[in-house]
Chain A
C-alpha cells in the first residue's frame, strides 16, 4: 500500500533565478528607446490640435521643431515662438533653420522637415508668418504636428 501512499508535498517554490534576466531585458529595451527631452519648454506646453489624416514623421534626425504657444507669464499675451532653448521673434526663424542645416550633411538638407508644434488656440497669423520665412529660405517641407483624433475638438 505504501506505493499509493502519497506523501503530502508543499508546492515547490518557483525559481526566480531568471527574473533578473527578464528584468534586464526590459531594462535594456527602455534604455535604448528612451529619449530624454532635449528642450525644456519656456512657453506653456502647446495643446496640439487633432486631425484624422496624419502622417508619421520619418527620419527623426532630420526634423527641426518649432514650438508655438502662450507665454508662461500671464501678463504677456500673444503667441510666443520657441526653438531649442530660447524664445525668438519670427524673423529669427530663418537663422534657426540655417543653423540646423549647417549641422546636417549637405545631401540630407533637401529631406529636412520643419515640424510646427503649435497650440490650437494660437493665431494663424503667427503660423503664416513662419511659413513665409521658411519659404524664403527654401525650407519647403513642413509638418503641422497634430494628435490623431476628431477635428471637432479643435474649436
Chain B
C-alpha cells in the first residue's frame, strides 16, 4: 500500500476566526471599575439609648434644601466650593479640650493648626458635622456635599500624616495596597489608623426634612 501523506490543514483562516472572536469580546467587555464614596453607617442604637449632650459650638450644621441650596450654621448661604475650607477650619480649630484618647487625660489638640476660636469646635474628636438634607434634595447635590466633607477630612489627615510620618495619608493608603507581606501591611495600617484617630470622621445625618 502506498502511504499517502496527509495534506497539511490550511491555517490561513485561523487568524480571521480569532479576529472575529476577538472583536466580539472587545465589544461586549465592560471594564467598569466600580468606585465610589464609601461610608460606614452608624450602628442602630439600643432601645434605651440616651443621646449625649453636645455643645452647639461643636456641631457644624449644614442644611441642604430642596432647591439644592446650602445653609451653614443657620446663617450663611454658601456655594459647594466654599464648603471644604469652612469644614477644615471648623474641625481643625482646636479651641478647647477634647475627649480623652488612649486612656490619657483629656487634653488640648496639639496637632491642630486652627485659630483656636473659643466659639468654634473644641477638638477634632468632638467636632461633629451635621448634614441635614431635605427629601427633595437631588442626589447629585448630596454627593457633592459628601464629597466636600470627605475632601476636608482627607486634607487634614494628609497634613497630619505628612508632618508625623513624612508621607501623606493618601500615599499611605496607596502604599498599603502595594505592600507585600502582612508585617509591612500592619506597619502602614498603624500609621493610617493613627491619622484616622486624630481626625475621626463624625458625620451625623438626622432625619430628612419632609
Contact = CB atoms under 8 A, between A and B. Distances in A.
Interface string A50-78: 01111111001001010010000000000
Nearest to A58: B177
Interface residues of A, number: 59
A151 to B, nearest CB: 4
Interface string B1-43: 0000000000100110011011001101111011111111111
B137 interface: yes
A127 interface: yes
Contacts of A118: 139
Nearest to A30: B25
Contact of A33 (B22, B31, B41): B31
A145 interface: yes
A46 B194 CA distance: 38
Contacts of B11: 20
Contacts of B21: 27
Contacts of A119: 139
A36 B28 contact: yes
Contact of A142 (B30, B38, B151): B38
A24 interface: yes
Interface stretch (A7-15, A81-89, A94-102, A133-141): A133-141
Contacts, number: 172
B149 to A, nearest CB: 9
Given A23-B15, A27-B22, A113 B28 contact: no
B33 to A, nearest CB: 6
B136 interface: yes
Contacts of B37: 51, 53-55, 143-144, 146
B41 A140 contact: yes
Nearest to A47: B140
B184 to A, nearest CB: 18
Interface string B81-104: 100000000000000000000000
A55 B142 contact: no
A125 B136 CA distance: 6
Interface of A: 16, 19-20, 23-24, 26-27, 30-31, 33-37, 49, 51-57, 60, 63, 65, 68, 113, 115-116, 118-125, 127-128, 131, 134-136, 138-148, 151-155
15 contacts: A30-B26, A33-B31, A49-B144, A55-B35, A56-B34, A57-B36, A120-B143, A128-B133, A128-B135, A141-B41, A142-B39, A145-B35, A146-B36, A154-B144, A155-B68
